[in-house]
Amino acid sequence: MGDFNSNLIQKNIPENHLFHHFQDSGLTSLLDFYDIKEPTWSAQESSSQIDDIWVNYKILLHMTEPKLLDSTDSTKSDHKIIMTCWHIDSPIYDTRRKRKKKKTFLYDKMEEENWENFSKEIKTNISKQSY
């Protein structure tokens, strides 16, 4: 997201421009995706679409269509506010990794019979894996 003071709609964007790097990295312009042509910046006799929100293709369809809001009263800016919602109820956003349960052995509380059973099980498993 941001103001890169360039216009994606222009035909003569240099090949090494940041926009091309965004596209090569799998990012898509929300304004371009929703075919919004309205300028995001304007001055006395000039206007352009130089503000945008770039998103990864995996979340693109979870974003609502952007709305361009006038910001002159709230921020005194000559740029419009780009507003969208990101619906994150999809399971692809659950990036938390589950912690593996840690097994703790209480050796000091084991009885003799448990030790014997444990030893037998170890020997059985080792003999199964012998080649």
Domain layout of the chain by residue ranges: 2-93
Cα–Cα distance measured from residue 97 to residue 95, given in angstroms and rounded to the nearest whole number? 6
- pLDDT tens for 85-97 read 988 875 554 556 6
Flag the least confident range among 52-56, 93-97, 101-105: 93-97
**What is the largest distance, in Å, between two alpha-carbon atoms of the chain?**
91
Q: Which residue has the tokens 């800016």?
A: 77
- pLDDT tens for 57-95 read 888 989 999 999 998 888 888 999 999 998 887 555 455
Cα–Cα distance measured from residue 86 to residue 34, given in angstroms and rounded to the nearest whole number? 15
40 CA to centre of own chain: 24
